[in-house]
Amino acid sequence: MNNISRRALHGIYLRTRRSPNIRAMQNAAARCDRLSELPNNILLDILERVDTLDALRTCTLSKRLMRLPAMLSRFDIDICSLTQHHDKASHGFNTADVVRYNNTLAGVTEKILAARSPEIHTIHKLRVTCYLRPDECLPITRAFASTMADHKVDKAEFVPILEKPFSECTNGDLLCYAKRFNICLGDCPAAFAGLTCLWLSNLRFADQLDIPNILSTCKRLESLRLSHCDAGIGSVLMVEHDQLVELIVDQGVFAAVHLYGVPKLQHLTFNCWWYQAPLTFGCVPQLSKLSLGKRGRTLTRNLQLSQLLANVPSIRDMHLDFVSEKIWVVPECPKVLTPVLRKLEILNLDNIPEGFDIAWTMFILEAASSLRELCIMVWDHYWCKLVIQQGDPRKQGYPEKANGGKWQTSAGFKHKNLLKLTIYGFQPNENMVQYVRRIREVAVNMREISLHDVKEACERCGDLDPKTKVITRSKVYPNNLIVRRMISLRSS
């Protein structure tokens, strides 16, 4: 029988959420069970939109509902659904708790996946989040492998989490966590071979070849995210994979990322590199979205986009984050830059420090003739964050504020494709008003200019964040006749 028994479901409920009023809840649900009146397809759609453990708890409320877990085609089994009910203030949270919750999750995962109905041939999503501990992870990875052997799984994701956040990890912790992951990988390679998405964090591999080994094992992998992962300071990440579509490298200490052969890669994010040549592009014919972010220090070498992107003329969406520090791109003439930016359509320039002359950004506009949308965010927040965390930023190698490179727009330059300009952190001073006025002159087909000075309090240090999604709280310029006239005024 493929259905999970009522006793098993009730046991799962008891293990995943302790409550003194379970019987009262079930009696109330029996008297007014509106969910059970819905058709199966609607019920399944509802259950598949919530965490799977919450869905299992719901299914204990009626005899009809308890048949549905075997019919689910989307699973999101997250250990946080268990730990959120743990009273850390009263009982603490130690290794024994981690082991207990991991074992509970492993048991639930095995039962729910083993009870799959043979009539459901395709699992659209299978995602498991658990603590990275080999002994308790092995039943989970074996259940993964068995499920993928018996069913077609469209999306399979494994998210291992650690007991400590990165800020509390020592070098020994990072090495230990990486060793744990390698053990999990070796214990059940069949499970990892079927993964399409993998998010690793807080791992320092002892061997620079460990990550290439992970990639060679995860043959179906389409998305890889590495947060605070590396093989030691100054190590190089070497990537070669036939199926990888998205790669995110966030806050490691890699000297560079070498993309040798990634024919399906479309989206690349690389934040916080160490040296002057962060990327080497080999075969990446489909790469269209590039995100780079770095806090520039005094010794940070500037990047020339014409050299960095020489082998990647297909970028359509580019995001550069300066983290309120040094501007680390060099203005270049259109003749050398146009070949690599001719397909660029969307450009986001984030966290340019306040007070900078942003006219230097015009060099990209001149080179990117296909550009349709330009978004600039001006923010001085990170400087105060550094003062709180590290003391005087100058002693940490961060320079005094300095403008980006100078740029003089070519005489007679006109841009025919730019349709939208958005600036967050706008102030009606000479610098920004002149910039907007110049954009209006050169962008002959401009349809929309949105200027926001949104201010949102920062919880950590009381600074102000000029970007927020709550547009109704923002002040949108031109907000009065004087500012409108300033922007509309033509240069003499």
pLDDT at 363: 93
Distances in whole angstroms, Cα of residue 165 to Cα of each of 77, 203, 227, 467: 21, 11, 11, 27
| pTM, to two decimals | 0.82
- How far is the C-alpha of 454 from the C-alpha of 371, rounded, in Å? 25
pLDDT at 326: 81
Q: Where are the domains of the chain?
A: 1-161, 318-492
Walking along the chain (492 residues) 10 residues at a time, the average pLDDT comes out as 51 48 54 66 86 83 80 89 69 79 88 80 90 90 88 92 92 95 94 95 94 96 95 90 96 86 96 76 95 74 90 95 86 93 96 85 94 92 50 48 58 91 89 91 93 64 45 47 56 38
pLDDT at 125: 92
- How far is the C-alpha of 26 from the C-alpha of 404, rounded, in Å? 65
pLDDT at 474: 46
